[in-house]
Structure 1
Amino acid sequence: MANDLPNTEDDDDIQLFHEAVKGARPVEAKRILHAPKKPKPIPRQLIRDEQQALVDSLSDHYIPAHELESGEELLYLRDGQSPLVLSKLRRGHWVVQAHIDLHGLVSDEARLYVSEFIADCKKRGLRCIRIVHGKGLGSRNKEPVLKHKLRNWLMQKDEVIAYAQARTNDGGSGAVIVLLKA
C-alpha cells in the first residue's frame, strides 16, 4: 500500500522548518490598544443657523390677506381646506397629542419655542397640538400680547392647516388648538 510508505518529503519539510526557526523566541502576546475613535464634530454653527432660521421664519409684522376671526376668538383655515376641518377642530374632533405653555416667556423666546415645538411635532407625526398663550392678565395693559403674535406666527407656518380657540376645558380664550399637516 502506498500509505504505509514513509513520506520523506514531509519529514524534510518539517526538518527544514525546525532548522529555520531554531534560534527564534516566542513573541510575548501584548494587547494592542487602538486610539479611541474621535467623536463626530458637533455642527454648532449649523445648529445656530437653524435656530436663527426658525426665529426669522416667523415675523411679528405679518399681515394676513384674510382672517376668519370674529371678535377675540382665534380662527384660521388655510386656503384650499374644507370648512369642515375648522368645524371639526372647534368641536374637538381630534385628540390633542402635545402641548406647550408660553406663560412667562417674552415674545422672542415664545416665537422660538413655538417654531421648535411645531417642527418637533411635525417630525414625530403629531397632528393636533395645543398652545397655551395666556389671557394677558399678567401683562402691562392686561391684554394678551402673545395671543395676537401667535395668531400671526401660526399663519406663517406652512405646516399649520387650521387653528381655533380652545374649548373651555382645554384653556378657552387662553389657548389655541392647532391642526398640522399629516
Structure 2
Amino acid sequence: MGERGEDEDDAALFRAAIGAVRRLPEQHTPPATPRPKPRARMAELDEANARDEFRHALDENLLEAGDVLAHREERLPVAIYRRLRRGEIAAEEELDLHGADARTAEALLRAFLADAVRHGVGCVRIIHGKGRRGSDDVGSSGAPVLKNLVDRMLRQRASVLAYHSAPPAQGGTGAVLVLLAPAKRN
C-alpha cells in the first residue's frame, strides 16, 4: 500500500479515537462592514497649499472698494466670458457674506462652492460688499477684507472658470458672478 493507504488508516484511527461527531449548523458569514469612501488627498493638499498661498499674498495687490473683480481661465471662450461680464448668465444660487468675519467667510465660501459644483450649478453670485460700512469690513491697509478674500479664493479654485463683478443692477462691485466648471463624473 502506498502513501494513500496510510493517510486513510490515519483518518480512520483519528475518527475512532474521537468517537461520534455532530455536525454544526452552517452559518452564513455576516456581511463585511462597508469600506470607507476614498478621500481626495491630493485635492485636500492642494486646498491647504492654496490656503497658505492666500494668507501670504493677502498684502500684495489689494483691491479697493470700487475695483472690478475679473478673471478668466484660458479654457473658457471669450464670448461666454463677455456674457458673464454683462450679466447675461443668470446666477442659480447666491451667497451673501455681509457682516461675516474673514475666517467665517472663508469657510462659508469653500462650502458654498463645493456644494454648487456637487449639485451641477453653473453660475453663482457672491455678495461680498464694498468694504465701506465699518472697521470690520476694511483691513489695516484700508482695503476691503471680504472683497480681497473672495478674489484670492476664486483665483485658486480649479472649479472656477471665470468671474467678474456683477453689473450695477445685480450688485456692482459689491458682488461677483462666478462661472463654475461642471463636476467630473466618475
SS at match of 2:100: coil
Alignment equivalent of 2:95, drawn from 96, 100, 107: 100
Alignment of 1:11-160 (within 5 A): 57-58=50-51, 59-62=54-57, 72-140=67-135, 141=138, 143-160=143-160
2:45 and 2:101 mapped to 1: Cα distance? 17
Checking the alignment, whether the CA contact within 8 Å between 1:135 and 1:143 is kept in structure 2 is no
Corresponding residue number in structure 1 for 2:178 = 178
Letter in 2 for 1:83: V
**Corresponding residue SS for 1:79:** coil
Partner of 1:36: none
Q: Tell me the TM-score normalised to structure 1 length.
A: 0.62
Residue ranges of structure 1 left out of the alignment (5+ in a row): 1-39, 41-45, 64-70
SS in 1 for 2:131: coil
The Cα of 1:93 is off from its aligned counterpart by 2.4
**Bigger CA radius of gyration:** 1
| Partner Cα separation in structure 1 for residue 153 and residue 113 of structure 2 | 11
Q: 1:107 to 1:135 in 2, by over 3 A?
A: same
Report the more deviating stretch, 130-139 or 140-149: 140-149
Q: Are 1:76 and 1:162, in contact at CA under 8 Å, matched by a contact in 2?
A: yes
Q: Distance in 2 between matches of 1:173 and 1:110?
A: 18
Question: What value does the CA root-mean-square deviation take over the aligned residues?
Answer: 2.8
**Separation of aligned partners in 1, 2:167 and 2:77:** 21
Deviation by residue 1:61-108 (Cα, 9 ceiling, x = unmatched): 348xxxxxxx81111001332222221101222111000111111111
Q: What SS does structure 2 have at the residue aligned with 1:131?
A: strand
| Alpha-carbon distance between aligned partners in 2 of 1:116 and 1:56, rounded to the nearest angstrom | 17
Hey, what's the Cα distance between the residues in 1 that align with 2:170 and 2:130? 13
Q: List gaps (5 residues or longer) in structure 2.
A: 1-33, 59-65
2:170, 2:93 → 1: CA distance?
Answer: 12
SS of equivalent to 1:60: helix
Matched, 1:165 2:165: yes
Distance across 1 between alignment mates of 2:47 and 2:150: 14
Tell me how far apart the structure 2 counterparts of residues 131 and 52 of structure 1 sit (CA, whole Å).
Answer: 25
| TM-score, reference length from structure 2 | 0.61
Deviations 1:124-150 (A, max 9, x none): 100000000011112325642111121
Percent identity, aligned pairs only? 32
